[in-house]
Amino acid sequence: MKLTTLFRRRAAFQATRPPRLEEAGSTAVPTMNEEQTPLIRAGEAFQIHVRYTREQIVQFARLTGDANPLHHDRQAAERASFGEIIASGQQTASQMMGAVASHFSRRADGVPRELLCLNFNFAFRAPIFAEQDILIAWRVSEVERNTKRGGYIGQLDGTASVAGRPCVVARGTVLVSRSASHAA
C-alpha cells in the first residue's frame, strides 16, 4: 500500500473514529461486522498496570545507551524543573508495545495467534516519575482483512496515564494472524 493511501485512510479514519477509552468512559465492544475476527476485534480493549522504581529507571537508561542525565542524575532533573529523575520515553514505549505483543500473541483463550508489529508512533506529553502507578491502555479502533499477509491488520490507540493524565499517547498498526502451527 502506498504511503499516500495510508495517510488518506488515517485522516478519513480519524475523522470518524470511535471515542477513545478516556473519552467513552468504558471498554464496551461495539457491534461486530464481517471484518472482525476472534483474532482481533474493533473495540477490543485491554490494559496493564506498571510501576517503575528509581533503580529500574536508571538501569533501563543505562542498558539502552540513553545517557540523558534526566534519567539518572537528580540534580540535573532538578535544574530542568522536574525535581526527580524521569523515566526514559523509550521505557514507557517499550512497556506499551510489550503489552500489545503479549495481548495479541496470547493463547489462554484457546485461539492461537501470532503478532507482527508494523508501526508505532508515540507522543510524550508529560514526564513519568519513579513510584507512580501507570495505567497502560489500548483499544483497537479499526480492523481490516489482509489476504496478502494472511491475517488482520489492526489500528490501535493507546495511552500511558498517571492519575488519569495521559503522559504518553500512542498509535499502532499490527498484523494478527492464526498461529502457523494451527493454521487451516
- CATH number of the domain encompassing residue 132: 3.10.129.10
Separation of alpha carbons 61 and 40, rounded Å: 33
The answer to the question of residue 78 being in a domain is no
Inform me whether the pLDDT recorded for 16 exceeds 80: no
pLDDT of residue 153: 97
Q: Is residue 124 part of a domain?
A: yes
Residue 37 is predicted with a pLDDT of 61
Number of structural domains in the chain: 1
Longest dimension (CA), the chain: 59
User: In the predicted model, is pLDDT for residue 92 greater than 70?
Assistant: yes
Looking at the domain assignment, is residue 94 inside a domain?
yes
Q: For residues 48-55, give the mean pLDDT.
A: 98
| Mean pLDDT of the residues in the chain | 84
- Residues 71-82, mean pLDDT to the nearest whole number: 95
**Residue 156 and residue 143: Cα distance in Å, rounded?**
9
For the chain, give me the number of helices (H) and strands (E)? Answer: 5, 5
Residue 163 resides in a domain: yes
User: pTM of the full predicted structure?
Assistant: 0.78
Task: Indicate whether 67 belongs to any domain.
Answer: no
**Is 68 within a domain?**
no
Rounded CA-CA distance 154/36 in Å is 10
Is 154 a member of any domain?
Answer: yes
Q: How confident is the model at residue 23 (pLDDT cuts 50, 70, 90)?
A: very low
Which CB contacts under 8 angstroms, 24+ apart, belong to 24-30?
27/139
- Region 151-175: mean pLDDT is 98
Range of the domain at 152: 38-52+89-182
Sheet holding 165-178, edge to edge: 45-50, 134-146, 151-162, 165-178, 113-124
More confident residue, 13 or 105: 105
Q: Using alpha carbons only, how large is the chain's radius of gyration in Å?
A: 18
